[in-house]
Amino acid sequence: MLDTFTLVVCTTIINAMMIVTLVALYRTSPSEKSILDWLGGICCFFVTNIAGLALSANLLNHWLTPAVANTLFVAGNAMIFSGIYRYLHGQHKWPLVCSIAAITFLVHLFPFMHENIESRILVTYPLIIAICLSAIVILCRRQWQTRLFGLLPLTIVMGAFTAQLALRFFALVLENVGINVFSHSLIINTGTLGVMLYVMALAMSVAYLVNWVREQSLKKISRTDTLTGWLNRRDFTYRMPELFALTRHHRQPFACIVMDIDLFKQVNDTYGHTVGDEVLIHVSHQMRRVTRDCEYHYRLGGEEFVLLLPDCDEKQAMTVAERVRKAVESSPYLHEDNTLDCSISLGVAVITATGEGEWEGLLKAADNALYKAKASGRNTTQLDVLRRPPQHAANGSEYQASKNLSA
C-alpha cells in the first residue's frame, strides 16, 4: 500500500483537478448557485490536504496546523450539505457552516486534542457523520417525493463516504479498548484514500446532476407549447398511442376532448395577433384552472386544444367538458376598454371499456363531434361514443341461405 505522504499528495492533486472541474461546470451553468457551495467544500478539502502535506514533511509542527486542517475538513463537509440543501430548497446554510467550523476549532483548543490524530478523529468524525447523514436524509426524502432520480448518484456517494467514516470511527474506538480489528496504518491510510475517492465521485455526481437537470429541462421545452404552457403536438403524438394502449390493456374507457375557440379568427382580424395570443393564454388558463386533476393538456396548434382522460367514461367526460365550457364562457377577456366574450366548442369522444378501435379513430371521432358542435351554433358540447360493434348470430334461415349459395 502507498505510504501516507504519497496518498496525501495524490489526494491534493485530485482535489485541484476537481476544483477546476467544478469551476468549469459553474461557468457553463451560472444559474446553479449550489455549485458554489460544493466548490467551497472541495476547496476546504484542498487546503486540508495542503496542511496534511506540511505536517507529513515536518514543516509546520504546531498544534494549530491540525486544528485548522480538521476545522476546514469539517467545514468542507458542511459546505457539501449546504450545497445539497441549496439545490433542493434554494437557500444556502452558510451561517450553519460557520457555526460548525467555529465549534470545531474551539474544541481543538483543549489539550487532549493535541496529543495524537486518533483523539482528533474520535471527536470530529461523529460530527461529520451527522452532517453527512443529514444530507442523505434530505436527498432520500426529495427522491421519494418527486422521483428526482438525478440525485441518486450523489446519494450513493454520500452513503458510501458516510459508511467509510463510520467504519473507521468504530475501528478506532475498538482499538482504544484493546480490540485491534485493523492495523493502525490501514485505518489512517484508508481514510486518506477514502477522501480522494469521495472528492472524485462527488464532483462527478454533481456534474451528472447538473447535466441531468439540463437534459430534463430541454426535454420539457421540446414538448411544451411556449405560449400557453400546455404540452404540444410533438408530445401528443408520442403520448397518445402509449396511453391508449395502456387503457386498452387494462380494459378501461378512454376519453378525448377536442376544444376550439369560437370565432378566434375574428379576434385576430379585429385586434391583431398580439391580442389573439393574449386571448389564447387567457382561455387556456381558464380551461386549466378547472381541470387541474387532468394530467394531459395539449395545444395542437392555433386555437385547438385537447384533453386526454384515461379511465374516464362518457358521463365523466361530459361533466369535465361542460365544466370547461362554462369556465371559459363566464370569463371574458378584458382588453383596454373592451370586453371580449370568449366561448369554446367541444367535441367529446369516448371508447368504452369493451369498445374496439385505434387511437386515430378516437381522435377522428372527437374531431367530428367538434364539427357538429360548431355547426349547431358554437359554445356547445357534442359526444360520440365508440362501442363494440354488434355481433349478429346467424339464424337458421341465414345459415340455410349461405348453405345454398355455397352449394
Domain locations along the chain: 4-221, 233-386
Question: What confidence category does residue 76 fall into, taking pLDDT thresholds of 50, 70 and 90?
Answer: very high
Q: What sign for the dihedral angle of Cα 58, 62, 66, 71?
A: negative
Strand partners for 334? 339
Between the CA of residue 326 and those of 36, 61, 113, 248, 379, what are the distances in Å? 50, 81, 74, 31, 9
Spatial separation of the C-alpha atoms in residues 104 and 74, rounded to whole Å: 8
CATH superfamily of 233-386: Reverse transcriptase/Diguanylate cyclase domain (3.30.70.270)
At residue 149, the pLDDT reads 85
Rounded to an integer, the average pLDDT of 161-171 is 88
Residue 399 pLDDT greater than 50, yes or no: no
Q: Which residue has the higher pLDDT, 256 or 293?
A: 256
Share of the chain above pLDDT 70, in %: 88
Averaged confidence pLDDT in the chain: 86
Q: Are 196 and 14 in contact (CB under 8 A)?
A: yes
Residue 394 pLDDT greater than 50, yes or no: no
Q: What dihedral do alpha carbons 204, 206, 208, 213 form, nearest 10°?
A: -170
CATH superfamily of 4-221: Rhodopsin 7-helix transmembrane proteins (1.20.1070.10)
Q: Which among 219, 217, 248 is positioned nearest to 234, based on CA atoms?
A: 219
Question: What confidence category does residue 319 fall into, taking pLDDT thresholds of 50, 70 and 90?
Answer: very high
Q: Which residue has the higher pLDDT, 133 or 356?
A: 133
Between the CA of residue 285 and those of 235, 261, 324, what are the distances in Å? 19, 13, 11
> pTM for this one?
0.71
At residue 44, the pLDDT reads 94
Query: Which residue in this structure is represented by grid cell 442523505?
Result: 136
Between the CA of residue 361 and those of 241, 256, 321, 348, what are the distances in Å? 11, 11, 20, 13
Q: Are 261 and 279 in contact (CB under 8 A)?
A: yes
Range of lowest pLDDT (70-79, 104-113, 195-204, 306-315): 104-113
Read off the C-alpha cell for 179: 480490540
Please state, as a whole number, how many other Cβ atoms lie within 10 Å of the Cβ of residue 390.
5
Read off the C-alpha cell for 223: 414538448
Question: What confidence category does residue 295 fall into, taking pLDDT thresholds of 50, 70 and 90?
Answer: confident
Tens of pLDDT along 77-124? 999 999 999 999 999 999 999 999 999 999 888 887 766 677 777 888
Paired sense of beta strands 338-340 and 381-386, if any: unpaired
